[in-house]
Structures are given as C-alpha cells and as structure tokens.
Structure 1
Amino acid sequence: MVSDGDSAPDFTAKLAGDEPEEFTLSEQFGEAPLVLAFFPGAFTPPCTNEMVAFQDDLDALRETGATLYGISADSPFSQAAFQDEHGLEFDLVSDMDRAAIEAYDVSLDIDDLGLQGVAERAVFVIDGDGTVTYSWVADDPTNEPDYDAVYEAAEAAA
C-alpha cells in the first residue's frame, strides 16, 4: 500500500459528468496539496455520509489550499448523478478500470454485496512535489476518516 513519503502513483481516469473528461493525477500537482478520497460506491449510506461531510467542510479544506477528489469505481454518469443529488462541489473521479485503486493498493471485495475490486475507504494527501504526506485506510469500509486530521495534513502539505 502507498504510505507517507512515497511518490504518489500516477493514473489516468475520467471525471464525473455527462461528457466525461480525462483526468491525469500528475497534471494536477500544481493544484497541490491534493486530497484523494477513495470510497467504495456512490449512493451507499457510508459513502454518502463521507462525501457530504467533505462537502459540508469544503471551505475549510479549500482554505488550506487543497483540491479534493473523490474516487470510486462507479461510472462517470453514476457519479454525476451522485454529485447532483448531494450538491457536491468537488470533482469525482471514475476509476472503472481500477487503475488508481490498484496503484494505491486499496482494492476491496465485499462478497456479501457481490462487489469485487471496489475502492477501500482511504484518504491520501499529496504535496506539490507528488509526495504522499498523509495516508489513511479504513479498517472497516463503514468507518469514516478523521476529517480534522485530513485538513491538518492538507495544511501541512501546502
């Protein structure tokens, strides 16, 4: 798994939307710090709670200078509907081919739900040099991150 001090693995995926645009992580390093919030799936209660919590404190996160990206294996169209329904004002990244999930080693199988290779709930903060300065992976996919710790890490990476 990717840890603090590692170079952030690069990946290319699609941004949520009716006309999905290509997203390449390394092209975003100028917007650093970057916060990558991996989540198992749109429209599930724990994931909704997490993304809405990030939205509720988005101004505080942006005050650190950070740019937030939510990442899941959902389609860009499903993510766009999720974004609209919950008023999310940050980009969601559709990792349907699991390039980011595999690169960050956060793949999760939830056999009870028949889900294979979805993202574990995880957060990574990346500085302008492309170095991971904070990493957290949930012990249980229903656990949410310590939002204050994420904001502090983003501020420290600025």
Structure 2
Amino acid sequence: MELNIGDKIPDVKLKNEKGEDFSFTEIDKAIVIYFYPKDFTPGCTKEACGFRDSYEDFRDLGAEVIGISSDSQESHSKFKTKHQLPFLLLSDPEKKARKAFGVKPNFLGLLPGRETFVFNREGKLIYKFNSINSGRHIEEALTALKNNHQL
C-alpha cells in the first residue's frame, strides 16, 4: 500500500519511548512523521537533531513532529535523552506503520526507508518526501507546511 496526497493518516497503534500506547488519530493538529532507519547512526542522528533544532519552527506552524524506526522503546529513550529530542519517538519493530504508510526500503532493500509525511489538522496527507539524504527532510517538511494554507 502507498499513501497518496489527500489520503487519511493510517490508524496504527505503536508504543512511544516510554512504553505508552500511541495512535496517530489522537493528535488534532498538523503532524510531520518521519521514518528513519536506526537510532544512533550518523545520518539518523543528523536528521533527528535537525528536527530538534527546527522544532519551534514546526510548532509555530501548528505542527507536531514524530519520529519512527524499528528500534526498541529503550533505544528510543536513550536516543531521545542523549540528543535532547523534544518530540515523540515511536517503536515499530513489526513494521506495521512502515507497511501502513507504504515506506519502501532503500539501498537495494538493505536499509529501512527514510521518508517524511506531512498531514494537515484533519489528518489528510498534504506532502511526502523520500530521500536517503537525511538533511533535506526538515527543509522539505517546513516548506510543505508554509505552502499549505489549509492546515
């Protein structure tokens, strides 16, 4: 399955870094969801810190940021603490969210995909971006939010 512009956010339940249940449908504001391969790797750390450093810009645009990988809740908790990440990290060990969002593997299928989705307040997809270049995801998501006046 692949999400297309205008599609509703999938109703997938995952655990956050504290082990608490989380559902995307619980948020009533715009959401930027970024899927990344692995905690503590150079590209993923750069991406997470980029979202951290721009977090107030996302909040000013009325959006929440959420990161998802297949890492454990414990790994997410350590990653979040070490890099002072102000947003949720969700654990997707069974790849339920990756399948529901249609995130494809990168690099000949060897690495989990790196893809960012931007949903408006009504939970409809307004933008998606797929690139192994971790640094571009923050800029692309901010631009999508700025350009969409129907958040």
The yes-or-no answer on 1:147 pairing with 2:144 is no
Q: Which residue number in structure 2 is paired with residue 104 of structure 1?
A: 101
Q: Which residue number in structure 2 is paired with residue 46 of structure 1?
A: 43
Q: Which amino acid aligns with 1:131?
A: K
- Whether the aligned pair in 1 keeps the contact of 2:106 and 2:114 (CA below 8 Å) is no
Note the residue ranges of structure 1 that are not aligned, 5 or more in a row: none
- Alpha-carbon offset, residue 142 of structure 1: 4.3
Runs ≥4 residues deviating over 4 A: 109-112
2:129 is matched with which residue: 103, 120, 136?
136
Matches of 2:60 and 2:137, distance apart in 1: 18
- Matched length: 148
Q: Which residue number in structure 1 is paired with residue 21 of structure 2?
A: 22
* TM-score (normalised: structure 2): 0.88
Q: Which residue number in structure 2 is paired with residue 7 of structure 1?
A: 8
- Whether the aligned pair in 2 keeps the contact of 1:15 and 1:23 (CA below 8 Å) is yes
Q: Which residue number in structure 2 is paired with residue 59 of structure 1?
A: 56
Give the 3-state SS of the residue equivalent to 1:89 in structure 2.
coil
* TM-score (normalised: structure 1): 0.85
Aligned ranges 1:57-96 → 2 under 5 Å: 57-96=54-93
Query: Which region of structure 1 is more displaced relative to structure 2, 2-11 or 95-104?
Result: 2-11
Give the 3-state SS of the residue equivalent to 1:134 in structure 2.
strand
Matches of 2:128 and 2:50, distance apart in 1: 18
Matches of 1:152 and 1:82, distance apart in 2: 27
- Whether the aligned pair in 1 keeps the contact of 2:40 and 2:79 (CA below 8 Å) is yes
